[in-house]
Structure 1
Amino acid sequence: MTILKPFLILLFCLSFVRAAHAEVFRYFDEEGTLIVTDNPFGTKKRDRQQYHKKEDRNTNVKLKFREDISYEFYEVSGKTFHDVLAATERVGPFDAREGRHYAGQTRWNFGLSYNMDFNYRLEGDLIVASVQIHNIDFRSDITVILPALSENSSFELPDFKAWEGFLQQLAEHEDDHVRIVREPRYRQEVISGISGIREMTLHSQADANAEALLKDAIDSKIGAVAHDVMKKIKEKNDEYDMLTRHGEKPEFRNAFFQRL
């Protein structure tokens, strides 16, 4: 009986260990705000079609496009370069924080998915859990917005050259924002932070659903990891805009990326 006693105690304890599994999708906008959805690309999922390489029809300005992001264009018109430059400041994408329009903008969201397994037991008013989070995927969904000349715009050669240089420099600046968002160490930081969540202890209530409480608590902790990394990405994008004056000082770009 003395030999069997520890075994019986262990068997008794194990009989009260419960297991659960969940497959989770979460979606965050670029502010780090959680959008409630069961789809990693949000509640209003776009058809993820390939972009169409677009040349400005009136000036034949050739731009370099990435195949893994989306491009949107808004029309501007004028008879001179200064006309269309002024138009971008009136009708370009609006930045609500700064209260002004910009000629170009990079918008991004993140889809996060993972599988979650946890075992838990009740110890008085405590829920004690061991957690395993795996199959973690953290994907960016990026859209670059740029101006394009309308059909009724016509330039003399000097204005064309000015427009060409402006648009190419603008596209390069927005591509740098894409490069910041896609910096591999941010993705790795999310995956490492989430996979490092292995244990959790919660206070329970009499009529509480222990499994639901645990899932919510784990989701909240994962959301905090993702939010912190997205905050870093946003701060880096803001720092880059400040350093280059939103692309007006491209000579500072190399120094920035050397220390990214």
Structure 2
Amino acid sequence: MELKFIKDKNSLKTLKVVNKIFKFNRQKAYHQIIKMCKYSLCNRKEHKDGFCIFHCDKKNFTEKEITKFNEEFSEEFERQEKENLNEFNFIEFRFPHTFSFFKKKEFKKAVNLSKATFSGDVYFMEANFSSDVGFIEANFSSDVDFKDATFSGKTYFENATFKGNAYFNGVTFSGDVGFMNANFSGDVRFMDANFSSNADFEDATFSGDVRFMDANFSSNAYFEDATFSGDVSFMDANFSSNVIVAK
């Protein structure tokens, strides 16, 4: 019986309800057959332990899985680049070891890598970020290298964790940059870095050696309640504005 032949309103309502129930059960069956990622904001298929290939743990990833991740991430990047979205959304992505996709990459819109986990060395050398960048609560398990990268918008590293060495040599921060409450376990290098706007290291913890040699601070630099446990050098650094070291 087709819908257009139904004249009784009660019958029509009943059929609509039945159709909705059928549609719901069909979708439910689909998700039971094809398991989806448990991450609440993700609609991708499960790859491992209930999560998709981007959100699953990478500790025991095989070389084959790493290759698959790299291929799918490249496709995901291109997809998001073409879509009419305000930002690249890589929130809580988990990256395998020795990830170099971002090297010399140009990001033409904002990038959100908040709560992302980098399992091994990761390279951002000569990357060009045209808009805001978020690494809020990001976890770098090994070394990270941003040498000669350019950040044109605001950059956020609040509460980020750096378990290896962090290299920011020759980096240009055109907008405000924040490392508030960031935790650096290894050595940190900001040699020849350029801070064109405010640089905020309030409550940051530096356990290793820190080098700001030849760095250029054009605006305010905040180091309130920052903790330095290793050697620190600001040799030949240039401060054009205020340096705040105490509240």
Structure of higher RCO (CA pairs closer than 8 Å, 6+ residues apart): 1
Larger radius of gyration: 1
As a proportion of its length, which structure holds more strand?
Answer: 1
Same fold at TM > 0.5: no
